[in-house]
Amino acid sequence: MTIKTRFAPSPTGHLHVGNIRTALHNWMFAKKEGGTFLLRLDDTDAERSREEYVEAIRTDLAWLGLTPDEEQRQSARFDRYEEHLAKLKADGRVYPAYETAQELDLKRKIQLGRGKPPIYDRAALDLTPEQISAFEAEGRKPHWRFKLDHGTPITWSDRIRGDQHFDPALLSDPVILREDGSWLYMLPSAIDDIDMGITHVVRGEDHVANTAVQIQMFIALGAVPPEFAHEALLVGTEGKLSKRLGSLGVNSFRERNIEPQAIVALLARIGTSDPVEPIVDAEPLIASFDFARFGRAPARFDDEELAQLNQKIVHLLDYEDVQNRLPEAMDAAAWEVIRPNLHDMADVDQWWQVVTGPISAPEIPTEDRDFLSIAHDKLGELEASDDLWKELTGALKEATGRKGKPLFMPLRQALTGLDHGPDMNALLPLIGREVALARLAKASV
Ligand code: GLU
């Protein structure tokens, strides 16, 4: 069997960290199994779906490296949904209902007031032809419900949650088509999963009750239901399902200079029994992907953990990974020198400026000025080389008797304007002999 997964966002907004995680897991599972990863745009809601969000979803997935093998849109498939609806009508598995939203709301309130679950009472099934004619004469249009089979208990073995059981009598027959002819999510999704050959539906556990209903839809449509894996939801460090996570998307990660590899490495592992590790290449993450390792407790998303992971990831990035984001003159050797000092990629410019100048004016204590003047003269006697720092400090040690911090710190300050930073041994050749001479001269007066 060829595995096929799908990520099915509604293009009514930007992807947030929760659905990025779902997309990632669908992608990883498909890749691990040598299968196909489908992007399905759930754009049946013409009013709320926007082309700009479709574009944004594609761009975000590409930035994260989760490129779909195939793309489909529900708005192109209404004919197909109508065909299936006709069949379900013929089979008596859907029925028209005429209640207004207010009437349904009132029913629910009464049920709740009596301490009963707010399950649709199927009153529409008892309507007489006269009552229906009367509604139609009033200008009411029906919405359509899928009729659950109360005689068949719903069960499935969830790849994450284990055995699941639902009594269909405790579920409302879902509305599938609105009065105005627009489709709700439930049936088109099942039809697409069948038509597109989806083998595994991987999504958040907020969809568990939908799965129960959709399993009966698959069967009513003559198909074998796919496998399901419902992952525990993502929560912020504050513990609850936070609003903040709902607005946290690729744009905000970019603003914070988070690398896509850091997001992938974090979201691949939180909520699983595998540790979060700085892994740049997706391959080992894919290789370790296993539903059996997913826990039932909510996965915790921690901004601070992401920032720290991001720093470790940056320290592992190769020159080729970042080349087009570096200052033009910065070569592979310079990247190697600067890389260990970066918190994130935005720090590159600051360190490159230390190399190319101008540097911020160093504050040199008076007692170090003569020392720096000697340093200037000693450097003048040396040829440019990769060992310039060793040669310079060696000569200075001999000439002044200084060693350790009193030897190194004034030099670092004079040459970089800072009292910390890259290894001077590697940095000095990048700064260059001429520039270093000028900086020493300036600092010694
Ligand atoms: N459009 C649905 C959502 O975003 C898809 C759910 C599913 O994976 O079936 O919730």
Q: What number does the ligand 1 atom closest to the CA of 206 have? A: 10
What Å distances lie between residue 69 and 4, 201, 289, 356, 391, CA to CA? 10, 16, 19, 44, 57
Euclidean distance between CA atoms 188 and 77, whole angstroms? 9
Q: Which residues form ligand 1's pocket by a CB distance below 6 Å?
A: 8-10, 42, 185, 189, 203, 207
User: Pocket of ligand 1, candidates 207, 218, 227, 231: which has the most ligand atoms within 8 Å of its Cβ, to mutate?
Assistant: 207
Atom of ligand 1 nearest to the CA of 19: 4
pLDDT of residue 403: 95
Identify whether residues 380 and 407 lie together within a single domain.
yes
Instruction: Please check whether residues 403 and 350 belong to one and the same domain.
Output: no
Q: Say what the pLDDT of residue 242 is.
A: 64
| Ligand 1 atom at minimal distance to the Cα of residue 42 | 1
CATH of the domain at 430: 1.10.10.350
Ligand 1 pocket test, pick from 203, 217, 234 with the greatest ligand atom count within 8 Å of Cβ, gives 203
Residue nearest to atom 6 of ligand 1 (CA): 8
Counting the structural domains of the chain, the total is: 3
Q: Which atom of ligand 1 is nearest to the CA of 189?
A: 9
Question: What does the alpha-carbon distance between residue 426 and residue 432 come to, in Å, rounded to a whole number?
Answer: 11
Same domain, 343 and 366: no
Pocket probe mutation, ligand 1, options 42, 44, 194, 218, max atoms within 8 Å of Cβ = 42
Residue that terminates a domain, selected from 305, 340, 355? 355
Q: Do 410 and 431 reside in the same domain of the chain?
A: yes
Tokens of 72: 């489909």
Closest by Cα among 198, 258, 256, 191 to 228: 198
Q: What is the pTM of this model?
A: 0.93
- Position 341 in a domain: yes
Q: Judging by DSSP bridges, how do beta strands 154-158 and 162-166 pair with one another? A: antiparallel
Q: Which atom of ligand 1 is nearest to the CA of 193?
A: 9
Distance 22 CA to ligand 1 centre (A): 10
Query: What's residue 244's pLDDT?
Result: 78
Does residue 45 belong to any structural domain of this protein? no
Residues 400 and 374 in one domain: yes
Are residues 149 and 84 located together in one domain of the fold?
A: yes
Q: At which of 355, 379, 402 does a domain end?
A: 355
Output the pLDDT for position 363: 85
Atom of ligand 1 nearest to the CA of 203: 8
pLDDT score at 238: 77
Residue among 44, 49, 185 whose CB has most ligand 1 atoms within 8 A, to mutate: 185
Q: How far is the CA of 203 from the centre of ligand 1 (A)?
A: 7
Do 345 and 402 lie in a common domain?
no
Q: Are residues 100 and 162 in the same domain?
A: yes
Among candidate residues 130, 146, 177, the one where a domain is terminated: 177
Query: Could you tell me if 417 and 329 lie in one domain?
Result: no
Atom of ligand 1 nearest to the CA of 201: 8
Q: Please tell me the distance between residue 372's alpha carbon and the centre of ligand 1 in angstroms.
A: 67
Q: How far is the CA of 160 from the centre of ligand 1 (A)?
A: 18
Domain extent for 119: 79-177
Atom of ligand 1 nearest to the CA of 10: 1
**Distance in Å, CA 307 to ligand 1 centroid:** 29
Do residue 121 and residue 168 come from a single domain? yes
**Ligand 1 atom at minimal distance to the Cα of residue 7:** 8
Q: Examine the domain organization and report whether 344 and 382 are in the same domain.
A: no
- Tell me which residue has its CA closest to atom 5 in ligand 1: 8
Domain shared by 364 and 349, yes or no: no
| Of 4, 22, 189, 192, best ligand 1 pocket probe by most atoms within 8 Å of the beta carbon | 189
Tell me whether residue 171 is in a domain.
Answer: yes
**Interval between CA 2 and ligand 1 midpoint (Å):** 22
Does residue 97 belong to any structural domain of this protein?
yes
If you take atom 4 of ligand 1, which residue's CA is the nearest one? 9
**Hey, whose CA ends up nearest to atom 10 of ligand 1?**
9
Give the Å distance between the CA of 70 and the centre of ligand 1: 17
Can you give the pLDDT at residue 241? 56
Distance 321 CA to ligand 1 centre (A): 33
Per-residue pLDDT tens digits of the chain, which is 445 residues long: 899 999 999 999 999 999 999 999 999 999 999 999 999 999 999 999 999 999 999 999 999 999 999 999 999 999 999 999 999 999 999 999 999 999 999 999 999 999 999 999 999 999 999 999 999 999 999 999 999 999 999 999 999 999 999 999 999 999 999 999 999 999 999 999 999 999 999 999 999 999 999 999 999 999 999 999 999 999 998 766 567 788 889 999 999 999 999 999 999 999 999 999 999 999 999 999 999 999 999 999 999 999 999 999 999 999 999 999 999 999 999 999 999 999 999 999 999 999 999 998 888 999 999 999 999 999 999 999 999 999 999 999 999 999 999 999 999 999 999 999 999 999 999 999 999 999 999 999 8
Residue 419 lies inside a defined structural domain of this protein: yes
CATH number at residue 127: 3.90.800.10
For ligand 1, atom 3, the nearest C-alpha belongs to 9
Residue 267 lies in a domain: no
Structural domain includes residue 350:
yes
- Which residue is listed with tokens 């700085």? 278
Residue with the smallest CA separation from ligand 1 atom 7 is 8
The candidate with the shortest Cα–Cα distance to 189, out of 10, 326, 418, 370, is 10
Q: Looking at the domain assignment, is residue 431 inside a domain?
A: yes
